[in-house]
Amino acid sequence: MNYWLMKSEPAECSVDDALAAPKATVPWVGVRNYQARNFMRDAMQVGDGVLFYHSSCAEPGIVGIARVASAPYPDPTQFDPGSPYFDPKSKPDEPRWLLVDIEVLRKTRNLTLPELRTDLALEDLVVLRKGNRLSITPVEARHWQIILKRLEGVSAG
């Protein structure tokens, strides 16, 4: 099992939006970075753990626990000229961009970046690295356990 931190702007898809969706599951649309896409394509598997992270907001941080709920498949927004994620170079027979569905298991308190930075055991967490702007980053199992403990006082399943 792998673990991931996935960033979403709450104005676009918040943890509450995901929880309100059928089966608390949303397609993770709009990934337009090759490295993040490759994580979905090559490494993510159904059942992998996800830290749902709000970015580009007043208090960025981890706000939910989720899981990968589908295998990767083409992101339909790349073909929609009306979408902000439209890519005119992507073709239906050769899609460039993929997505996975994410099922939110529960909302958590907001575990903010400043709070994450106070834990020396998390100092090498990818999201804390200077200059990191990827929307999807791997999370080591030991980091997953520490974060869950901080969030809820429980260990991961």
3 state DSSP class of 5: strand
Which of 30, 64, 25, 32 has the alpha carbon at shortest distance from 46?
25
The pTM for the full model equals 0.93
Q: Where are the domains of the chain?
A: 3-152
Give the separation between CA 157 and CA 124, rounded to whole angstroms: 23
Q: Strand (E) positions, 46-148?
A: 49-54, 61-68, 73-74, 98-99, 101-112, 136-139
CATH architecture of 3-152: Roll (3.10)
Q: What is the pLDDT of residues 28-81, one digit of tens each?
A: 999 999 999 999 999 999 999 999 999 999 999 999 999 999 999 999 999 999
Confidence label for 152 from pLDDT (cuts 50, 70 and 90)? confident
